[in-house]
């Protein structure tokens, strides 16, 4: 796990109240660097999310992948940030074997997200993994 993800998990562990955890998710989303309009394209839009979600994928020279993302919904933006913390900076092979569901389960999010938001998270993860499969095939 990277330092950002470790910090997020540690912060979640300190917060017991779910209203406070939701506020923390919103705060995480506020800290996301806004995506420029040039990458808020149909090609970068995540299908299967009720909110607008965009994921921008970039392969790095060292073989790792960097993801940037954004959403028009506050809590979803925090979920985007969490997904990016799980996957960004890893190689396509590492991305394909990384289970974001285990992280969401560890944080208790699996039990506290609405079915619609859970479907959106699955759509984000599948999009990230599809991009990793494409990059692995191109390598």
Q: For residue 67, what is the DSSP state?
A: E
Instruction: Choose the catalytic residue: 49, 76, 84, 95.
Output: 49
Report the C-alpha gap between 24 and 78 in whole angstroms.
Answer: 8
Instruction: Report CA 22 to chain centroid distance, whole Å.
Output: 16
Report the C-alpha gap between 125 and 10 in whole angstroms.
Answer: 22
What count of residues does the chain have? 139
Residue 15 catalytic?
Answer: no
> What are the residue numbers of the active site?
49
């Amino acid at each position: 796990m990277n330092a950002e993800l470790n910090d997020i998990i540690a912060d979640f562990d300190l917060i017991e109240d779910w209203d406070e955890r939701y506020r923390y998710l919103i705060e995480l989303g506020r800290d996301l660097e806004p995506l420029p309009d040039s990458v808020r394209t149909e090609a970068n839009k995540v299908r299967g999310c009720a909110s607008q979600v965009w994921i921008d994928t970039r392969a790095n020279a060292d073989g790792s992948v960097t993801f940037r993302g954004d959403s028009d919904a506050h809590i979803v933006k925090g979920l985007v940030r969490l997904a990016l913390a799980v996957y960004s900076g890893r190689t396509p092979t590492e991305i394909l074997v990384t289970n974001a569901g285990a992280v969401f389960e560890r944080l208790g999010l699996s039990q506290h997200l609405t079915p619609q938001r859970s479907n959106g998270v699955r759509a984000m993860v599948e999009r990230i993994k599809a991009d990793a499969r494409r990059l692995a095939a191109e390598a």
